[in-house]
Copies of this chain bind each other. A is one copy, B any other.
Amino acid sequence: MSKILDMVHIPKDLKVLSRKELQQLCREIREQMIVRLGAAGGHVGSNLAVIEATVALHYVFNSPSDKLVFDVSHQCYTHKLLTGRKAAYLDPARFYSVSGFTNPEESEHDIFSIGHTSTAISLACGLAKGRDLRGETNRVIAVVGDGSLSGGEAFEGLNHAATLGSNLIIVINDNDMSIAENHGGLYRNLRLLRETNGKADCNFFRALGFDYLFVRDGNDFNEIADALESVKDTDHPVVVHMCTVKGKGYRYAEEERESWHYMGPFDIATGKPLHGAVPTKTYEGLTSRFLADRMRKDPTVTAITAGTPKVLGFEAELRQQFPTQFVDVGIAEGHAVAFSSGIAKNGGKPVFGLSSSFLQRAYDQLSQDLALNRSPAVILVFFAGISQGSQTHMGVFDIPLAMSIPNLIYLAPTCKEEYLRMLEWAMDQNESPVMIRVPGIETVSRNAELLRDYARPARYEIAVHGTDVAILALGKFFHLGSKVREKLETEYGIHATLINPRYITDVDEKTLRALPEYGHRLVVTLEDGVTDGGFGEKIAGFYGNSPMKVLSFGARKEFVNHVTVEEQYNRYHLTANQIISDVIEALSSK
């Protein structure tokens, strides 16, 4: 069956194939890709869309001397399959031997480790400049999805790339979808260009100074291969605007493009997920229900996403109920923060939700547009903490990121009751920008002591009064702290104090000052984030000029790629037993 695929291992193998064989190869790859996606899950839509284009890229260009950069790089499966990593797509035993993003540690054909959107044009522009400085002649190609174009970095890259004056080919893979539907004025122009076969006078890319080539059907191997051949040796920057179909060749993925952007393992015949048991009681669901209720009661409440509406729990159906109150600004986290600040300044009630990993795309806006102006917008940070995900999507940097921004209150609820109370307060107050660190995926309940308001100064919750040791267990890690406390009591007879700090950015000086007075000589901090610049260091700094000892637990400062949470907990001494052993040692030393 897969006889062409059998002959292809590295890009060079493509050069000897006929166009007919190459087309056959695309069919074989698609068939096999669907099998592999069904078994292992992954980014279904984008990878099925770019099979022909990827085969054409490797047929026309000479990787790795020619440099291919994939934006987000979640669409790199065919690229990996063609560059020495075929087994990872054919052999079920090796399906997990490669990551879902380009990774230089895997292959010289992967130039960058990439996972955030909108970066490829800038990176490719740099590769081209490096080449020019060295007087070399290799070609540089960036492959960028339409959804990525709304991000500011993509525009900054386009604006500069247009003036580069040497070979740079930017393939815009336009499947008329971001993760969800596209939002923004640019997408009207892409539509106009699609509808006019690229012939409309008003052309975003030409306006920026690019040479421009339209490819009507990027899933037609010959068409995209011919287009790439024609621009291959250009001496100036060219945009190849290629239309593809997201999920091409797999019915369910073509029909339900948002759901099939990313999918866990599924049954190919029915499209049904194989591991059906997704948690039903999630913080996303809780959030969207809470916000929808608020939005119905108060027309000034608005929920905002930067291209990831489901992170905030807003499925398509729910979004449609709020055509003006639910706003997707496109993948543009910086704008979303500034936009939220503007709404709050003019009497609206904005709640912007995003993943921890993408918060870092909005540092300047958090500081200047939001915090400096004390705009009472609410930002919900999802997927924060140690996870098994890609090194490009880690959730451990948001605490240090927020720590040094004045005026900003960052709260860490420990359970759903506290989360909702904090969210309610944040939306009702008019004094401060407030961020809330959503405590995990599945909701957890506890009898937390809730405050009427969470304005400054910080007031920590003393959940259990004890002595000797005080455990400051932040957010989700409150439960770890609780376990440590119990074990210290039952196994060592140590009656530790357990504290829920509630505030990430703030020290409750009164409580901390009282701890030595009540016989504590060791403070333990637990945070689900990198310790450098984090909460524990702040507490250590507070006690720096006192005999109080401080032991801080959290993640090490390192990029971590698909390591199990368990292994990371072990590595960072974040299991109850390791913490207890460190505590006992600290108590017994001088």
**Which residues of A are at the interface with B, using a C-beta cutoff of 8 A?**
67, 104, 111-116, 119, 122-136, 150-163, 183-186, 188-189, 201-204, 206-210, 299-302, 324-325, 327, 329-330, 332, 334-335, 338-348, 350, 358, 360-361, 363-365, 367-369, 371-373, 391-392, 397, 400-401, 403-407, 505, 530-534, 536-538, 540-541, 543-547, 549-552, 557-559, 586, 589-590
Query: Within the assembled complex, what's the spacing in Å between the Cα atoms of A125 and B547?
Result: 52
Which of B119, B371, B400 sits near A404, CB closer than 8 Å? B400
List 22 interface pairs A-B (beta carbons < 8 Å), by A numbering. A112-B373, A115-B368, A122-B334, A122-B342, A123-B338, A126-B350, A134-B346, A150-B159, A153-B364, A155-B156, A156-B330, A160-B184, A162-B188, A188-B208, A189-B208, A201-B202, A202-B202, A363-B363, A406-B559, A536-B541, A537-B537, A543-B544
Given A127-B346, A541-B550, A335:B160 Cβ within 8 A: yes
- A131 contact set on B, CB distance < 8 A: 346-347
Instruction: Report the separation of the CA atoms of residues A401 and B400 in the bound assembly, to the nearest whole angstrom.
Output: 8
Contact B372 A392 (CB under 8 A): yes
Complex Cα spacing A184 to B373, Å:
31
Q: How far is the CA of A204 from the CA of B183 in the complex (A)?
A: 18
A367 near B335 (CB under 8 angstroms)?
no
Report the minimum CB–CB distance from A540 to chain B (whole Å): 4
Closest Cβ of chain B to A188, distance in Å, is 5
* Residues of the B chain whose Cβ atoms lie less than 8 Å from the Cβ of A338: 119, 122-123, 126, 153, 157
Q: In the bound complex, what is the Cα–Cα distance between A397 and B404 (angstroms)? A: 7
Choose among B112, B342, B400 the residue that contacts A130 (Cβ–Cβ < 8 A): B342
Query: Which residues in B have their C-beta under 8 angstroms from that of A358?
Result: 364
Given contacts A134-B347, A545-B586, 8 further A-B contacts (CB under 8 A): A112-B373, A113-B373, A122-B334, A129-B327, A133-B300, A201-B202, A372-B391, A540-B550
- Tell me, in angstroms, the Cα distance from A283 to B368 when the chains sit together: 27
A256 to B19, CA, bound (A): 59
The answer, among B185, B342, B537, B552, for a CB contact under 8 Å with A124, is: B342
**A183-B160, A338-B126, A559-B372 as given contacts; A544 in contact with B533, CB under 8 Å:** no
* Chain B residues whose CB sits within 8 angstroms of the CB of A341 once the complex forms: 112, 123, 126
> How many copies of this chain sit in the oligomeric assembly?
2
State whether B162 touches A184 (Cβ < 8 A). Answer: yes
- In whole angstroms, how far apart are the Cα atoms of A209 and B400 in the complex? 39
A360 CA / B204 CA spacing, docked (Å): 29
Which residues from chain B contact A112 at a C-beta distance below 8 Å?
341, 345, 369, 373
Bound complex: CA A392 to CA B300 (Å): 29
Per a CB cutoff under 8 Å, which of B158, B159, B558 touches A406?
A: B558
The answer to whether B392 touches A368 (Cβ under 8 A) is yes
Taking the closest CB of chain B, its distance from the CB of A557, in whole angstroms, is 5
Closest CB in chain B relative to A456 CB, distance in Å: 12
Q: How far is the CA of A80 from the CA of B136 in the complex (A)?
A: 54
Q: B530–A130 contact, CB under 8 A?
A: no
Q: Is the CB of B183 within 8 A of A209?
A: no
Question: Does A545 contact B534, Cβ atoms closer than 8 Å?
Answer: no
When chains A and B are docked, how far (Å) is the Cα of A114 from the Cα of B203? 32
Given known contacts A163-B184, A335-B153, A335-B160, A343 and B392 CB-to-CB distance under 8 angstroms: no
Alpha-carbon gap, A99 to B324, bound state (A): 37
Given A300-B133, A332-B156, A403-B400, A538-B533 contact (CB < 8 Å): yes
Closest 7 A-B residue pairs measured CB to CB? A126-B342, A152-B152, A162-B185, A130-B346, A156-B335, A122-B338, A533-B533
Report chain B residues within 8 Å CB of A537.
533, 537-538, 540-541
User: What residues on B are CB-neighbors of A534 within 8 Å?
Assistant: 404, 533
Contact of B153 with A334 in the complex, beta carbons under 8 Å: yes
- Evaluate contact between A300 and B134: CB separation under 8 angstroms: yes
